[in-house]
Amino acid sequence: MAIRVGTAPDSWGVWFPANDRQPPWDRCLDEMQAAGYEGVELGPWGYLPNDEKTLKFELGRRNLELVAGTISGDFTDEASMEKMCKTIEEMAGLLTRFPSAGYIVMIQDRYTDELTGDYCLPRHLTGGQKQVLYKNIQRAGDLVRGYGIVPALHPHVECYIDTEDEIEEMLENTDIGLCFDTGHNIYSGGNPLAFYKKHHGRIPFLHIKECDPKIVGLAKANAWTFPKAVAEGAMCEPGSGSIDFAEFFAFMKQIGYDGWVVVEQDMYPLDDFGKPAKIAARTRQYLKSVGI
């Protein structure tokens, strides 16, 4: 059994297909290779080249494998669902051309605006709206499965599926598994190792992320939005927060986990394009020191 380690454009401050506060995709891939990662996620659809020939060439010359793609939208809205389903079809058509690409990560849109922090969706759902949410998560997941790809719902801060209670309710109402993000779990008050031990049978894919509880405490005390908390350093380097990754990876090996984990460290917007490469290299060395 083997745990393989990839990374994602998110660790280079990439939240959008195009944005002046993000490094160009070729620099991102160069630095991923230099830091010692084996695989990469697509990031926001349209950030990395999404035609097969170009992407195969660019990944191949850097010895990087494609691991997963990500779609996001509002699962409570039918127009958003139609758009997401179209993107799934386009993305799956690409991923199926890469034998290493086994997952599509699905994320519910945040109820706060990415840039302003203003509410852009209702903060709470009615019982009926929750059922629409679960129905559409199932619908999207079934569409992904139709391409032979594993769907994985990603719980996320300031989304309708965030806390452990919300995650467990989603698990009860669908048969879709999780892309479990350790940093988001800490941010929402969870215990990543305990949750993973309880639900690992429904967790086919993981995002390895660290979180600084002190900054999260400040964020909650001052009602910061998630982007504000990220800008203040809420998501920190693995090994510098509160997660015992040595114990976490030891358990993964104990249960025979055989596949990818992807490192993410939210850091949008970047104040220094030279910052991610240094962090990525240190993080890869740290992960080797604790067993992967």
What pLDDT score does 1 carry? 54
**Rounded mean pLDDT of the chain?**
96
**pTM greater than 0.85:** yes
Contact by Cβ (8 Å): 17, 47 = yes
Mean pLDDT of 46-61: 98
What is the tally of structural domains in the chain? Answer: 1
Q: Residue 200's domain spans which residues?
A: 3-289
Q: What pLDDT, in 10s, does the model give residues 258-267?
A: 999 999 999 9
Residue type, 30: D
CATH number at residue 145: 3.20.20.150
What pLDDT score does 116 carry? 75
Mean pLDDT of 244-256: 97
What pLDDT score does 113 carry? 84
What pLDDT score does 119 carry? 86
